[in-house]
Structures are given as structure tokens and as C-alpha cells.
Structure 1
């Protein structure tokens, strides 16, 4: 299938009454603007065409759903805006994630670890919108108040975990599929509660947005399993964050590779 054929299918599925379509032939980049809101989105057709070769009509269904949900979110944002701060949550992203929106507005962020950054999102039901400075001005409250409220809201999210044992090591998986699974790493009370159950080294991993893994590492095999596990989740996640895991100790997170270096250095000094 070629890009023009794909655009024709999308027009047929979504119609031309509510949307304006503009295809950049050189880059296969499609611009879709919604007439009612004046809002738009860009779609890379190369990615969609690759998925179509593998998954056929299912790939078309997925991209149609994505377009519909994106514009539903934009519509909800315009109609609802910030009713209050109870629909604002923190989200974890990799350190390489864009710091500005496509319109050039800086996102609201906070430092987290050397590998991760905290962003803030306006929850719109089936999706959410990352908060940027232009949205802050609409809200009319200080950035710090938004951040504090988001951290408070994440503590209200359920923290049910599934337990698995591999090679004498225990792993706990949190996967609520609400878009904020990785965000639970910011729930200090939850982490401390899990620490009380851990007998070995406690590790915390957020390989992608929709999973949080807590490890009770009791032998060297556990670290090997953890490394393979996080790399797998990192590669299959829709929104990958980091394949590195963290040691949780005294309320702090330290990347495991840093801890490993320190241990090696200490062992060498003692010998």
C-alpha cells in the first residue's frame, strides 16, 4: 500500500466533513485538522504503512482509533479545561523525552533521577494531555501547586500487585493499565510498604509507562533475571522509559549500574 491509498482509506473511515487533510508527499507526513476546534495532529504514515504490511486491517483500525481519541481529548480539553486539580497526575518519562510541545511550549517538569523526568498530565478520561506553560496560564495557579496536587493524586491510585518467583527471587508487577502504572514510583508510602515485605535487595523498575516492577533480589541470579526482564518490557512498551532498574534504600532510588560500580570498587579496596 502507498501513502495516498492509506490517506484515501482514512478519509473514507473518518470523513472529510469534520477534518481537513494535507499530505506532505516527500516525507509521507499527514496533517489532520479538526474544523470544529481548529486543533490538529501530525501522523507519520511510514510507521502506519509498516504496521499495515504486518497486521493489515488491524493496523488501520488502530490508527483510526488513535485519531478519534486524540481529537476527543482535544475537544474535552477545550470544553472542560481545568475544572479543578483532581484530574492532574504525574507521569514518568525518559530523560531524552521532548521538553517542549509541538507548538514550542515548554512542558511542566520536575527532576526525578538521572534516567527519568516527571511530567504532569491533564487526565481527559480515555487519554491525557501533557501540561505545558500555555495551559498553566489558563489554569491560573502556580506551577508548584499543580505539582503538589499531582503527587497527592498519585497516592490515591490503586497499588495491587501480582507476585512471581524466579530462581529464589520474588518479583511484584503492578499493571493497572490506567496510564499511570510507572507513576506509582512516586508513591513513597507504597514503596515503603513494599520494602517491609522484601527480604533481599529491593529494586524498582519502570521500563515503560504501563508497568512497575518491584524486585526482592536475594541472589546474583536475580539481577540477571531482572536485567533481561526490564530490557524485554522496555522494547515492547508503547511508551518506553528506561531499561535500567533502581535500588530502593532509605527512601532513595539509585541506578543499579552505579551501585555495582561502587561495590566493585569497594571490593578491590578491601582486597
Structure 2
């Protein structure tokens, strides 16, 4: 079976059909929008991205995007309350190309992180989360700095289970709990400093998508090539891609690096 954007659009319309749903399609951008009649809010899906992923993981790509849209629309219909729910506020990492505001022109709360990444702030709603925007902050009467402080405190409370793999004399650690905040652990300075003390080579980090954090103990040039290939593979297959670049970690600072021809 061949898959293209038109076929994917029809497939998603079938699976996401409902009396409350309105579909629209931007043929030029190959984007499909699913809106709720009740809330007037919706989600825009890049069909070319879903098709590309379908060619790798087939049915799983469709199941993932259907789940993402269903949960996203459900969350948009719920009332969000920060007060008395502080433990549900977390930071999330996004690429610098991610929108700074919602489609209604409401600004998200965010901070610059590195040249490749930005920190947004989210309210956990169980199976999904909503990014906190200026409308929510104004409604709750909160100081944005309080939200940021709570989010960074909460990310430090998340567990950091690691899987370890050795390749060509280098050690790679993977954090992949699928709680939506794996990449966010890159903001846990205490955890990163513990790993720095554990590593004997060069410490390199990668957050190719939101559901994985890779930490490399790079002990030879081949390790950089392995990390670059690994990161690109994760980036291409991720539900919420962030960056295919890696970061050197030195004395608490992250520096993006472009790995090319390290292995001479």
C-alpha cells in the first residue's frame, strides 16, 4: 500500500469523525485542521510529517496522531486551574521554531534555553497537557516567575531511570519513561551534575524528541558519529521532535554542537 497526504487526510477524517468535529485542509501546506464546534478550538496536523512516519512505523503513526488529537481536543474543553494544583505544572522543551503563541494570538509562557531549544510551561492533565499562556496567567492572577519556579522544582522530583548501552568503547544512557517530560529532565541540574561526576569521557546530551533524553559518555571520535546517527534516528521518529543536534555539557552549561566528520 502506498501512502500520501490525501490518503492520510481521508484516513484521519474517518478515525476522528464526530458530530462535534469540523475538518479543513490546506492543500499548499499539506496541513489538516480538526476543530471542536463546542469550543471553537482545534489542532493542526502536518500530514507530510505523519506520512513520513507512516513509512517507518506504519499503523503506529496513525494511532499516535489520532490519540494526540483526541486527547488534545479533550484537554482544550476542560477548565484549567493552577491554584491548588501546583504539582501539575512542569516545563517542556521545544525547538526554537515552535510557535510563541497559540493560534488565537495568545502568547505562551516561555524562556530561551539554548540556540536550539526553548522552555515552555505546561499544566499536566493526565494523558496530555496544555501549554500555559498569558490568558491563563491573567485569569489566575499568577506571577509568571512563580510558575517557572514551581515547574523547575517539580521536574527535579521526577524519577531518572536510565538504560545503558556500550557502543565502540563509548557509553550511552537513555531516559525514556514516556511521561511526556523525558526531555524536560535536561533542566534538572542536580541530575546532570551527578551524571557529569559519573562520566569519564566527554559528556554530551541530546533531546531529539520530548520522550527521550540521551546522555553520552564519549571516549573516542567514533562515539560522536554514533551519537549523531542515533539522535537523527530518534528525531525522525519522534512524536514531538525537538532537535537533531547534540549539546556539550561542561560546568553546568549546554553548548550545541554540530557533529560532522569527527571520525577521520
Work out whether the TM-score is over 0.5: yes
1:9 to 14, 25, 43: 14
1:257, distance to aligned residue in structure 2 (A): 3.9
Partner residue of 1:168?
169
Q: TM-score scaled to structure 2, two decimals?
A: 0.83
Match of 1:75 among 77, 97, 100: 77
Alignment length (residue pairs): 252
- How far, CA to CA, are the matches of 1:103 and 1:129 in structure 2? 15
CA distance in 2, matches of 1:145, 1:247: 29
**In proportion to residue count, which structure has more helix?**
1
Q: Is the CA contact (8 Å cut-off) linking 2:108 and 2:133 kept in structure 1?
A: yes
Alignment of 1:30-41 (within 5 A): 30-35=33-38, 38-41=39-42
1:42 deviates by 4.0
Name whichever of 40-49 and 228-237 sits farther off.
Answer: 40-49
Match of 2:120 in 1: 119
Question: 1:8 Cα deviation (Å)?
Answer: 6.7
Given that 1:32 and 1:41 are in contact with CA atoms closer than 8 Å, whether structure 2 keeps it comes out as yes
Cα distance, 1:201 vs structure 2: 0.6
> Relative to structure 1, is the Cα distance of residues 142 and 14 closer, same or farther in structure 2, using a 3 angstrom cutoff?
same
Call closer, same or farther: CA 1:200–1:5 in 2, change over 3 Å: closer
SS in 1 for 2:198: coil
Structure-1-length-normalised TM-score: 0.81
Structure with bigger RCO (C-alpha 8 Å, 6+ apart) = 2
Unaligned regions of 5+ residues in structure 2, if any? 1-5
* 2:247 alignment counterpart: 246
**Counterpart position of 1:267:** none
User: How far apart are 1:95 and its partner, in Å?
Assistant: 1.2
Give 1 or 2 for the bigger CA radius of gyration.
1
Does structure 2 conserve the Cα–Cα contact (< 8 Å) formed by 1:3 and 1:45? no
